[in-house]
Structures are given as C-alpha cells and as structure tokens.
Amino acid sequence: MVSLLLRGGLIVTQDPQRRIFLGDILVEAGRIAAIGPVDVSAEEVLDCTGCAILPGLINAHHHVANTLFRGIADDVPLEEMLERTFALDAKLTRRDVQTGALLGCVEMIRSGTTSFFDLFYWEDEVARAVRESGMRGFLSWVTLDEAFTTQRGSPLRNAEQFIVKHRGDALVTPSIGVQGVYVASAETYARAREIADRLGVRMHTHLSETRGEVFNHEAKTGQRPVGWLEKIGFLGDRLTAAHCVWLTLDEVRILAKDRVKVAHCPVSNMKLASGGVAPVPEMLAEGVTVSLGTDSPVSNNGMDMFADMKVAALLHKATRWDARAVPAQAALDMATIEGAKALGVESDLGSIEVGKRADLIAVSLRGPHTTPFYPANVISHLVYSCRGSDVQATVVDGRILMADHVVRSVDEAAVVARAQETARELLEV
Amino acid sequence: MVSLLLRGGLIVTQDPQRRIFLGDILVEAGRIAAIGPVDVSAEEVLDCTGCAILPGLINAHHHVANTLFRGIADDVPLEEMLERTFALDAKLTRRDVQTGALLGCVEMIRSGTTSFFDLFYWEDEVARAVRESGMRGFLSWVTLDEAFTTQRGSPLRNAEQFIVKHRGDALVTPSIGVQGVYVASAETYARAREIADRLGVRMHTHLSETRGEVFNHEAKTGQRPVGWLEKIGFLGDRLTAAHCVWLTLDEVRILAKDRVKVAHCPVSNMKLASGGVAPVPEMLAEGVTVSLGTDSPVSNNGMDMFADMKVAALLHKATRWDARAVPAQAALDMATIEGAKALGVESDLGSIEVGKRADLIAVSLRGPHTTPFYPANVISHLVYSCRGSDVQATVVDGRILMADHVVRSVDEAAVVARAQETARELLEV
C-alpha cells in the first residue's frame, strides 16, 4: 500500500478539541501517520489547497440497492412507498442488487461519504459492489419473520451465513438487521441477538418510525416498541436504531441507559411525513449517540450528506422555535464522529487523528457559494453552504477513490449506464 | 443579438399543460422563437444532450449584497442576526455592495437562477453588478422611517431617484421596497405606494416573519400587520410580501382577495427559527401566488434554489403529517412560473413558450445522483435529487452566461478573489 500525502488543506479534525488548522496529512499503510506541517514526501500527493480536509462522512442508515428506484414513489406516505418498493424489490435479481448498490457507492464517493450502514437482503451482492468501489460498507442482512419475507431460505440463516463469510474483511463489516417490530416476533429478535452475540457483530433495526407502528404495536402487545424491545433484551450498545421519531422522554432515557445508538434520518422522515420530529435535542441532552442517515433513495431521494446535515440543523430549529438548536457543529458531528460511534468504530474512524484509518475527504471552499471563507466560518460553510459536489477528493483506507472530481476506483460512466439500463427494464419505462 | 439553438434536451416547459418532451429550442433576438424539433441552425449552439431544459429559476426574495456576510451569524435568532448584519452593513462602501452583489450573481448563474427580487439600499450598485453579470435583476430600493435608517438622504427620495434612473432597462427592473411594519409608519407605506403608482413599479416588503413582529404591531396599533396594511391601502397585486409565516386563515384570504404575491422563504425561516411555518397549503388552496425566495445569504447561507425547492417540499409534508403536501411539481412551480407571477412578468418569463424571453437553464441528469432518469421521474429528480451544481448552462435573454459549467459573462476567479479580500477586510479576519 503506497504512502499518501494530503498537502495544504484546512484540516477539520473533529477530534475531541474540534481543532481546525492549516496543514498536511501523511498516510502510511492505510492509517494517518502524521498531521501538521509534514516535511517528508510520499508516493502519492493530493494537493488540497483551498479545501477543507474532513474525516470521510458516515451515512448511518441506508438501503443502497434501492438507488435503482430513485423517484418511483414521491409525495406518498410510507405505506404506499413501501408497497411500491417491495413490489419492485420482488423483481430484483442478485445482479440488479449489485448494479443498484454500485451506483449508490459511486454517488457516495462523489459526495464525500466513505462509510455507510446498510440494511437489506442479498448483502453479499452489496458487499461485491462495496469492494469494487473501494469504499467501506457496514452491511446488515435484514431478518424478519418467515411469514413476511420474500427471501429464499430462512432470513436468520441467510444473515448468519453472510456474517460468517465476510467477518474479518478489511472494508466490509457484516452485521445483522431486523426490519422492525411490525414484521418481527420476539423470537426473531431474540435469535438475531443470539447470532450477533455469538459472532460478535452489530445489530441494526428500524425503530418507532411512524405513529402507526407505535400505535399498532402497543395495541398488539400492550407496550410501545422501545419498552417491548428492552423487555425482550434486544437493546444494547451494539444496536443502531434508525429513525426513533416517535419516542417519549422516558423512551429516550431507556435508549440512553442501554447505550443504543440512533441513526437520525430527517429528510426521509420529512418526505414520508412520518409526523412529529425525532427528539434529537432530548437525545443529545440525555447522552444518546445520534448519527445521521439518508435512508433509502426512494424516500430521500439522494445520499448527499451535506444536504442532509443542513436539513438536520434546520429541522430542529424550526420545530423548537430555537435558532440555537442543533448548531452546525452538532450536525457535522452527527455525520462524522457520532456516526463512527454509532457503528462502534470510533477508535478507527470519524475524526482525523494519528493512528486512525485514513478515510478522508477534501472539500473545495473556492466556489462562489463558499466565498468568503476563513477558519471561523468553515464549519458553517460545511453544513450550510457546501454540497456533495464540492467534494474534490475521497480517500478510503489510504486509497484515493476520487481525485479532482474524477472517480478512480470504478468506471463511473459504465456504472451509470448499466444502472440506467437495468432500471428501465425493471420499471418498463 | 445572435441566434441560439439549445439542442436535444428534455424540455420541461412549465407551460399551462406542464408538457415535458425531448426537443430543441430556437432563440432569436432574445426570445424563444421555436420549440420542438428545430431544423434550422443558429449562430450559437448549446448541446443539451442528457439535460433537462428549464425556464431559468426565479429567486423571489433576496438581499444579494449580503453575500459578503455568509456565515457571520449562524444558530442565532433573527434579532441577533440582524444586529450583527446591520453593524456590518454600516461599514459597507458602495463598492463593497457591488462586490458582494456580483459574487451573488455568479453564484446564482452557476446554480440556475436567472432572475432575483432584491431588497436593499444602494440598489444602483446592485444594478451595476447585475448588468456586469448579464443576469436579470428586479431591484427594490428599501425604504423605512428616517428615524431608523442609516441611508444618506431620504430613503423615499433615494428609491424614487433609483427607479427613475433605471426604468426601461432591459435587464434591471427597479421597484420600491419597505423594510417592514417594525420600522415603517403608515405615512412611509403610503408614500412608497404613491411612488409605485406614479412610476408604475412593483412593491416589495417583509411581512409577518416573526411572532414578535406580529405581537408588537398588534400591541402598538391594535391590528395585525396584514389587516393594518390593508386598512392603509398598501395591499394590492403589485405587492410581493416575503415570508408571511404568521398568518391566520383570515389573513390568507385578505392576501388572496387583494392579489398580493407571497415569497415563501422556508430555509431562512427554519434557520432563524421564525417559529410556525408559513401556511403554504392554505395559500395555495385560496389561490394566492406563492413564489420561492432564499432570503439573505446570512440566513440561508446560500442561494441554491434546487436545495430550497426540496426543503419547501419537505417542510410542509413534515409539519402537516401529509406526504402529499407541496408535491414536487408545486415546488418547481414556485421557483419558475409562480415566481414570474410574483414579479408581474409571467407574460415574459417563468415558462418555456414561444414568444417569451429566453431565460433558460440546462440541468445535467447524467450524474450518478440523477440515475436512473426517464421522463416520468424528471420533476422528482429536479426537486429531490438535483443540486445547483448540476446546472450546465445558463442563458438570460438569449445570451449564454454559462456553458459547460464555465461562466462566460464575468471573470469568476476575479470576482471570488475580490469578494474574499473585501470580506476579510470588513470582518477583520
């Protein structure tokens, strides 16, 4: 693995002191070897003049294969969106999943996301796409009761096989998912937890996304989803729960006590009119780790974490009548170091510190829309003014996946063309 | 003026039938001469393969000179933001205003905005920038009571002189503004209206942006701002009112009856935590023209109308618990044809129809983030997936201001460098 020097950028460390300074970053053997003025050279050099250098962004909740279905179900509620999506999912071949996932990986590389936490079936196909693209994938094979699934074979067995096969991979970290309380029994949750414990992997679920989900679960079991999951022993610090919109303060405190990590998905929740707003200020006050996810391209319809950081910062201000709610720094934290915590990898990812894996992005600040810039407004610009298209270079594990806006790891035009053709056949448009 | 052919794009007409079809657009003498398969050639040709061709976007509420102050006052309420902004405004020279305005014009050209409705003093400097950039400016010189102003001379006289000087210009359309009820007496409003009537120009004001504004005005006058402005005769179809967040349904009906045009500014309202949400669904139901504005770069912090269309579509869904609220088409309408109506120029702008002025943009749909695309999801992509950076070409009045992402009308690097230097001096950073 070649050494790499990122030269002359404004380094936004996201370290515990949130230091920002002009400097260089030396990468050796996939890790950050030095930060500051670096005098030695390296085999590869990225000129980062006029750029902020950030830890690569972490998308904490995604269904990347559904990138093929972008725009199929807008301006309709969750139930109708899911109905259309699941009907199309049933037509997907393994190769289609890979095609959609690879398209999504290219979109993420272009817009500065270096890691994502995915929830889907056929994650082995997503894993292929992740490896081909060179980015980092945290992939949860989704399980649910067999009565509800269209997966061939037992979802739990599929998940276990997937995890066993991919454990120990450098860029693909397997884990187990459970779709949600509306399609998973206590037994399914317990068996998923058993597999996660035995194999030492994380868990991933949808939780309290809509009021219908909460209402129906309470009607059926006498308990709201959080209390019910706690009772059956599913909550814990190896669980990442997406959405968490419909929570009481008591439920927030249960998540805090059990150290559950939350993936906040503001754009998806708004688009699907999930109603209410995830109580992020309360979560942060109670010490819950809150990361940021785009959710599926069907309900977003993109995966530009810069856009979603801005919406996260705006949404809580607007609904709390408090312009100080979720300041820019908090939004950037959600997309970086808190995302790493949500994936249990904060010792390796999420900030720029010596010894961490070198997942780094260079974000141009030279555009008219980021002018004027100076160190005191760089966090503001990253959250309120930048777009994914400002990402000039993307590095994962010390390897340059994109430089000067050109993706190096895959043939982008071919990926786009194949996805276009596949989608048109699937959708018959 | 040379003839121009936009060849082979997916034309999103925004005409009354909202037709979308693959074709060419011929431009002659600054106007759209033909739409469809065009066999003749032209002196200039823009290849629009893989692009949607849209009417240029219209930003219906802006303070473009404040682009210099992007990022100076984040995560604070309106009052604190205004305090910081006004303190810096007081330091601005005429040349600084021009510098900031030109920076904003370049940002708008890059992101597909071809017209904007501005509210500021020293609009003659903004007019210089508009002319230099080649875009179209609807510029309102702001008036207010002399007790509150830092303008040299009488604001009303300044506004009148500005209008007289610039009337009849091809690209600059002057008008008169009033800051808002908190700094303008009934007499100031009446005199502004008199000037507008006498000179035949539009009026522009801030209206019911915050609950403090509404509460204080009612405490002072016994009436809420809308009723008070109606009583003093300021409301009418030549008025564009920005924000209109804190309205009762009765007030919405007054705006409808008086044919007042509204500039909805969702990002600014959210960022400043104006509280509540502008009742856009009610406005649309009552037949009020609702256009879209970014507001000042201090409260946004950009002017990417694509980003703001998405937020407009999301915000009302989220707060109404109705995924069908403000669908993608309605958001696109706000940024195009409804914007033209808000400026009283719908016979010339806002849609692609033969005879209208040729303000056109080509938006690339070939990126991974807009894949797959087909005619049935193009409106979705434009609102939910595109970013301003997807704008490949911008044409105003038949003149190419940007092609292949390169701004032709001004030296972008010089504009950016001058703004950077000016801001650093002003802000002492």
Which residue type, as a one-letter code, is found at position B405?
A: H
Torsion of CA A283, A286, A288, A292, to 10 degrees: 30
Let me know if B395 is exposed, middle or buried by CB neighbors in 10 A (0-12, 13-18, 19+).
buried
Give the closest residue to A274 by CA, choosing from A213, A183, A322: A213
Please tell me the predicted confidence (pLDDT) of residue A78.
84
Please tell me the predicted confidence (pLDDT) of residue A77.
85
Would you list the domain boundaries of chain A?
A: 4-55+358-407, 57-342
Q: Is the preceding omega at residue B372 within 30 degrees of 0, hence cis? A: yes
With cut-offs at 50, 70 and 90, classify the pLDDT of residue A251: very high
Which chain B residues have a beta carbon less than 8 Å from that of A324? 75-77
Please tell me the predicted confidence (pLDDT) of residue B79.
85
* Other Cβ atoms closer than 10 A to B235: 23
CB distance from B37 to chain A under 8 Å? Answer: no
Asked if CATH classification 3.20.20.140 holds for the domain at B57-342, the reply, yes or no, is yes
Cα B32 to Cα B25: distance, rounded to the nearest angstrom = 7
With cut-offs at 50, 70 and 90, classify the pLDDT of residue B299: very high
Residue in the block written with tokens 């927030």: A252
pLDDT above 90 (res A81): no
Q: What is the CATH number of domain B4-55+351-407?
A: 2.30.40.10
- pLDDT tens per residue across span A266-315: 999 999 998 889 999 999 999 999 999 999 999 999 999 999 999 999 99
> What are the start-end ranges of the H helices in A286-325?
305-320
Query: Topology of domain A4-55+358-407, per CATH?
Result: Urease, subunit C; domain 1 (2.30.40)
Give the closest residue to A307 by CA, choosing from B11, B310, B39: B310
- Among B77, B314, B319, select the one facing A271 at the smallest CB separation: B314
CA distances from A3 to A126, A129, A355 (A): 29, 25, 14
- Among A71, A325, A327, select the one facing B380 at the smallest CB separation: A71
Q: Give the rounded percent of residues in chain B with a pLDDT score beyond 70.
A: 100
- Among A276, A317, A366, select the one facing B271 at the smallest CB separation: A317
Tokens of B311: 């937020």
Please tell me the predicted confidence (pLDDT) of residue A151.
84
Decide: helix, strand or coil at residue B304: coil
- pLDDT tens per residue across span A49-79: 999 999 999 999 999 999 999 999 999 988 8
Which chain A residues have a beta carbon less than 8 Å from that of B310? 307
Which helix (H) or strand (E) is A150 found in, with range? none
CA distances from A11 to A110, A205, B340 (A): 19, 34, 43
CB distance from A388 to chain B under 8 Å? Answer: yes
Please tell me the predicted confidence (pLDDT) of residue A150.
82
Give B69-105 as a 3 state SS string.
Answer: HCCCCCCCCHHHHHHHHHHHHCCCCHHHHHHHHHHHH
- pLDDT tens per residue across span B223-272: 999 999 999 999 999 999 999 999 999 999 999 999 999 999 999 999 99
Mean pLDDT of chain B: 96
CA distances from B92 to A372, B131, B151, B427 (A): 15, 21, 11, 11
- pLDDT tens per residue across span A301-340: 999 999 999 999 999 999 999 999 999 999 999 999 999 9
Sign of CA dihedral A418, A422, A425, A427: negative
> What are the start-end ranges of the H helices in B279-398?
280-286, 305-320, 328-335, 337-342, 378-380
- pLDDT tens per residue across span A143-177: 999 999 888 899 999 999 999 999 999 999 999 99
CB distance from A249 to chain B under 8 Å? Answer: no
Please tell me the predicted confidence (pLDDT) of residue B85.
87
Is B323 in Cβ contact with A272 (below 8 Å)? yes
- pLDDT tens per residue across span B28-61: 999 999 999 999 989 999 999 999 999 999 999 9
Q: Report the residue of chain A nearest B426, measured CA to CA.
A: A372
With cut-offs at 50, 70 and 90, classify the pLDDT of residue A384: very high
Q: Does residue B53 contact residue B6 with C-beta atoms inside 8 Å?
A: yes
Mean pLDDT of chain A: 96
Cα within 13 Å of Cα(B276), Cβ side: 15
Q: Rounded to a whole number, what is the distance in Å from the CA of B41 to chain A's nearest CA?
A: 30
pLDDT above 80 (res A1): no
Decide: helix, strand or coil at residue A208: coil
CA distances from B208 to B235, B242, B298, B399 (A): 14, 8, 19, 38
* Vertex A74: Cα angle to B290 and B273 (nearest 5): 50
Mean pLDDT, to the nearest integer, of B128-149? 96
Give the closest residue to A59 by CA, choosing from A142, A164, A135, A143: A135
Is B319 in Cβ contact with A373 (below 8 Å)? no
Please tell me the predicted confidence (pLDDT) of residue A152.
86
Integer-rounded Cα Rg, in Å, for chain B is: 21
Tokens of A106: 């290219």
pLDDT above 80 (res B402): yes
Q: Is the preceding omega at residue A300 within 30 degrees of 0, hence cis? A: no
Q: Give the rounded percent of residues in chain A with a pLDDT score beyond 90.
A: 92
Please tell me the predicted confidence (pLDDT) of residue B276.
84
Phi/psi-derived region of residue A357, left when phi > 0, alpha when psi is between -120 and 50, beta in every other case: beta
Tokens of B347: 């016979």
pLDDT above 80 (res B151): yes
pLDDT above 90 (res B129): yes
Is B412 in Cβ contact with A76 (below 8 Å)? no
Query: What distance lies between CA B277 and its chain's CA centroid?
Result: 19
Restricting to A residues 342-371, those with a Cβ less than 8 Å away from any Cβ of B are 366-369, 371
Is A103 in Cβ contact with B371 (below 8 Å)? yes
Decide: helix, strand or coil at residue B31: strand
Give the closest residue to A356 by CA, choosing from A110, A13, A7, A2: A13
